[in-house]
Copies of this chain bind each other. A is one copy, B any other.
């Protein structure tokens, strides 16, 4: 596999590009992956990619998420600019969550990974079982 796919010239640059130097927060790849690596993040992005949802709807859509984690994950996604939060001053109030343009553009490559995961999950599971069996 050609290193040109990274637009990088040396091993050192591979590392620098990944880490952004020495600072963890400046590493683009890990920073982005971190943002969707939460237990519920990809699930919620996937749901919101379909259409906007309200808080309670998401709660019913994903029954086994705690409301603490739903709140926190949505806040994290909003903080990173993936999700837009709109409050309607009704009584009682309702809040609608939707993907931003940034969120939708991020969902495109994420979707590639999702499709790969659905297609190759069995292979990963098999590899894991084989590895564990060999380790006896």
Assess whether B113 is in contact with A110, with CB atoms less than 8 Å apart: yes
Chain B neighbourhood of A105, CB < 8 A: 116, 120
Whether B102 and A127, one on each chain, are in contact in the complex, defined by CB atoms closer than 8 angstroms, is yes
Number of A residues with CB within 8 Å of any CB on chain B: 64
How would you classify the secondary structure of chain A's contact residues: helix, strand, loop or mixed? helix
Q: Does B121 lie within 8 Å of A50, measured CB to CB?
A: no
Residues of A at under 8 Å CB distance from B?
1, 3, 5-6, 11, 14-15, 17-19, 22, 28-37, 39, 42-43, 46-47, 49-51, 61-64, 78-81, 99, 102, 104-118, 120-121, 123-128, 131-132
Q: Is the CB of B131 within 8 A of A15?
A: no
Residue from B17, B51, B112, B127 within 8 A of A81 (CB atoms): B127
Residue of chain B at shortest CB distance from A40: B30
A to B CB contacts below 8 Å, 21 in the list: A1-B51, A1-B104, A6-B46, A6-B50, A14-B47, A28-B121, A29-B43, A29-B113, A31-B124, A32-B121, A33-B36, A33-B113, A35-B124, A79-B127, A79-B128, A80-B128, A102-B120, A102-B127, A109-B112, A109-B116, A113-B113
